[in-house]
Structure 1
Amino acid sequence: MMASQSKAFTGKHMAAIFVGGFAIIIAVNLLMASVAVGSFHGTVVDNSYVASQKYNGWLKQASASKVLGWQAVPHRRADGRVVVETIAAPAAARITATAERPLGAREDTTLTFTPQGQGRWLSNESLAPGRWQVRLAIRAGEQAWAGEAEIR
């Protein structure tokens, strides 16, 4: 009959497990930090104090936009140009927009629109494929509306 031989669990084994575990933790932390730094494209606001001072004005503008009752829904055509379909916006309104990439490398595009009739406007510029955050501004005389939408 053959006796099974088992090696004793020594301090060297425990040290190897301990060092290996911490090496994995450090490697994951370094990977996550590099991904976080690489995907951050800058500040949302340059000065948070100044932005906080403008906050009430932004709320006032948002409520004024809501009172107008205008709605705007943007979507991208196959050729990259953006179509904005509006509800209740005057036919003589002027629409402008800024499109920004919400993630990754910072990329901004200013869009201008030409009326197509029946509450539709078509951008003169096209957007590259991918995800965009679009900030729309509609002006008709003294009235102004602002809104945001995502285009994929």
Structure 2
Amino acid sequence: MTPAPSPVRRFTGWHMTAILVAFFAVAIAVNLLMATVAVRSFGGVVVENSYVASQKFNGWLAEARAQKRLGWRDAVTLDAARHVGLTLNDAKGTPLAGGKVTAVAQHPLGRAADLPLAFRETTPGIYASDRALPEGRWQIRFDLRRAGREEHLLREVD
């Protein structure tokens, strides 16, 4: 005995409708996911007003050149308690004592509030922060002032 032939399944309009609905549902879901991730991450603002920043750009370059001529060398550390340490030396390697150091710790993606940091000099040329940083990656903007000169640094710590 030969088996009975199986019935032929026809491709109908309902099949095509299901395929189209599934395709667009996947496309919309992916777009919503990507938009959500984009909105929750970096906001894209580097400067508040690009025109004003462009007018100050040459001044910033001059400040950077003057800062480079100082020849100050720095090393940023993070101790076990997550306090920030800053070692500051001149071009000859001599510790720069008697400076005033302040800083602001910023989360790179803006997910946490900025943390102001004050520093005290523990030994000549070595400065320690007054508070510990929470876990994670941080960018620290340092303002260093010593003997009428100043330097601005941006360093990253993990």
Pick from 114, 135, 144 the counterpart of residue 141 of structure 2: 135
Pick from 40, 54, 78 the counterpart of residue 76 of structure 1: 78
- Alpha-carbon separation, structure 2, partners of 1:104 and 1:110: 14
- Alpha-carbon separation, structure 2, partners of 1:8 and 1:37: 45
Contact 1:76/1:151 (8 A) holds in 2: yes
Structure 2: which amino acid aligns with 1:130?
G
Contact 2:98/2:124 (8 A) holds in 1: no
Paired residue secondary structure (1:121): strand
Hey, what does 1:112 align to over in structure 2? 118
Contact 1:73/1:149 (8 A) holds in 2: no
Q: Normalised by the size of structure 2, how large is the TM-score? A: 0.84
Q: Structure 1: any 5+ residue segments left out of the alignment?
A: none
Q: Larger radius of gyration, structure 1 or 2?
A: 2
Hey, what does 1:52 align to over in structure 2? 54
Superposed CA deviations along residues 14-39 of structure 1, whole A, max 9, x for unmatched, are 22112211111111111221222223
Alignment of 1:1-152 (within 5 A): 1-2=2-3, 3-40=5-42, 43-88=45-90, 90-152=96-158
Q: Normalised by the size of structure 1, how large is the TM-score? A: 0.87
Contact 1:97/1:111 (8 A) holds in 2: yes
RMSD between aligned residues? 2.0
Highest RCO, 1 vs 2 (Cα 8 Å, sep ≥ 6): 1
Structure 1: which amino acid aligns with 2:36?
S
Contact 1:41/1:106 (8 A) holds in 2: no
- Alpha-carbon separation, structure 1, partners of 2:40 and 2:33: 11
